[in-house]
Amino acid sequence: MTTQPAPAAADGRKTPEPVPALALRGAGLGFGDRTLWSGLDLTVHPGEFIAVLGPNGSGKSSLLKVLLGLQPLSHGEAEVTGRAVRTGNDRVGYIPQQKMIDPGTTVRGRDLVGFGLDGHRFGVGLRGRRRRREKVDAALAEVGAGAYADRPMGVLSGGEQQRLRVAQALCGDPAVLLCDEPLLSLDLANQQTVARLIDHRRHEAGTAVLFVTHEVNPILPMVDRVLYIVDGRFAVGTPDEVLTTEVLTDLYRTPVDVLRVHGRVIVVGATDAPLDPHCQASPMAPDGRPGADADGPAAAGRTAALR
């Protein structure tokens, strides 16, 4: 048997490394005396799905703002597709939290999705307009929103509005999709729909996904790696590496138990850990008020879950 050297090795050249979708090097962010996180090195490859977890105020949204070019780092570097972050980068798509749009809003879903193409150049005249319309139609079809795309946004349900936000973010074919708690306040069925749409796109188009969430369980099967930030400390790794009693106890600096129940991750005992609204052991505030909210001080010491 003869062996031939690989062509790339024959002339001594190496195959170039693929450009990462996202890269953070020695990244740190602080406000005043407070450091949210520092020394963050993270390279995200095309098609990777990263869940960003951590209690409120740990700096998850701020990380997305950095990558959107809206918030300068205190230290280090942040790049999208090999270039320094900047605002208005059409390689970056963004899906915000679900929040209901004012019922009086007359902007149509189709218009909202079209805003996702602002900054893209399709040329002038009829041909440019046609290409733009085709892009919008394709994005609407991808999320199954064609039937209500011409209705005013204000009359649509929360799930329908959120599908349109997904379509808007995907419309410009971003290399990177930044999602800031996009499932919040959606029912389980809509959570799954939105999560699957995002998962489908990253498989089809190699879009890298950074997905901030309080609820890891709806996306757990999709997650390649987790970035878990707590009070300035963080851990990066696969869900099995990071979502463990040992790692979270270390991050929270308090005893935490991570349970796996029917494939779901349940975190017990973390101070201000994300709360599973479907799994509240006793959602009582310290003063006995029921219905403590996930942002409030009542989170300390409770049973919490990452869904």
Q: Where on the chain is the footprint of ligand ADP (CB under 6 A)?
A: 31, 36, 54, 56-62
* 36 contact, one of Mg ion, ligand ADP, none, CB 5-8 Å limit per kind: ligand ADP
* 178 contact, one of ligand ADP, Mg ion, none, CB 5-8 Å limit per kind: none
* 109 contact, one of ligand ADP, Mg ion, none, CB 5-8 Å limit per kind: none
- By CB under 5 A, name the one of 61, 162, 190, 191 that touches Mg ion: 61
* 62 contact, one of Mg ion, ligand ADP, none, CB 5-8 Å limit per kind: ligand ADP
In the complex, the smallest distance separating the C-beta of residue 62 from ligand ADP, rounded to whole angstroms, is 3
In the complex, the smallest distance separating the C-beta of residue 103 from ligand ADP, rounded to whole angstroms, is 28
Nearer to ligand ADP, 212 or 258 (CB): 212
Angle of helix 188-205 relative to helix 158-171, nearest 10 degrees?
A: 10
In the complex, the smallest distance separating the C-beta of residue 166 from Mg ion, rounded to whole angstroms, is 18
By CB under 5 A, residue 62 contacts Mg ion: no
Nearer to ligand ADP, 63 or 175 (CB): 63
SS3 of the chain: CCCCCCHHHHCCCCCCCCCCCEEEEEEEEEECCEEEEEEEEEEECCCCEEEEECCCCCCHHHHHHHHCCCCCCCEEEEEECCEECCCCCCCEEEECCCCCCCCCCCCEHHHHHHHCCCCCCCCCHHHHHHHHHHHHHHHHHHCCCHHHCCCEHHHCCHHHHHHHHHHHHHHCCCCEEEEECCCCCCCHHHHHHHHHHHHHHHHHHCCEEEEECCCCHHHHHHCCEEEEEECEEEEEECHHHHCCHHHHHHHHCCCCEEEEECCEEEEECCCCCCCCCCCCCCCECCCCCECCCCCCHHHCCCEEECC
In the complex, the smallest distance separating the C-beta of residue 94 from Mg ion, rounded to whole angstroms, is 13
Nearer to ligand ADP, 59 or 239 (CB): 59
In the complex, the smallest distance separating the C-beta of residue 60 from Mg ion, rounded to whole angstroms, is 5
Distance in angstroms (rounded) separating the CA atoms of residues 166 and 179? 9
In the complex, the smallest distance separating the C-beta of residue 66 from ligand ADP, rounded to whole angstroms, is 10
**Tokens for 140?**
């609407």
Nearer to ligand ADP, 67 or 149 (CB): 67
By CB under 5 A, residue 89 contacts Mg ion: no
* 213 contact, one of ligand ADP, Mg ion, none, CB 5-8 Å limit per kind: none
By CB under 5 A, residue 98 contacts Mg ion: no
Nearer to ligand ADP, 63 or 305 (CB): 63
Please tell me the count of residues contacting Mg ion according to CB under 5 A: 1
In the complex, the smallest distance separating the C-beta of residue 286 from ligand ADP, rounded to whole angstroms, is 21
Q: What residue number has its CB nearest to Mg ion?
A: 61
Nearer to ligand ADP, 61 or 303 (CB): 61
The candidate with the shortest Cα–Cα distance to 204, out of 112, 160, 142, is: 142
Interior CA angle at 79 toward 99 and 184, to 5°? 15
**Tokens for 67?**
């990558």
Nearer to ligand ADP, 184 or 220 (CB): 184
Distance in angstroms (rounded) separating the CA atoms of residues 242 and 244? 6
Nearer to Mg ion, 206 or 277 (CB): 277
- Residues at the site binding Mg ion, with contacts judged by CB under 5 A: 61
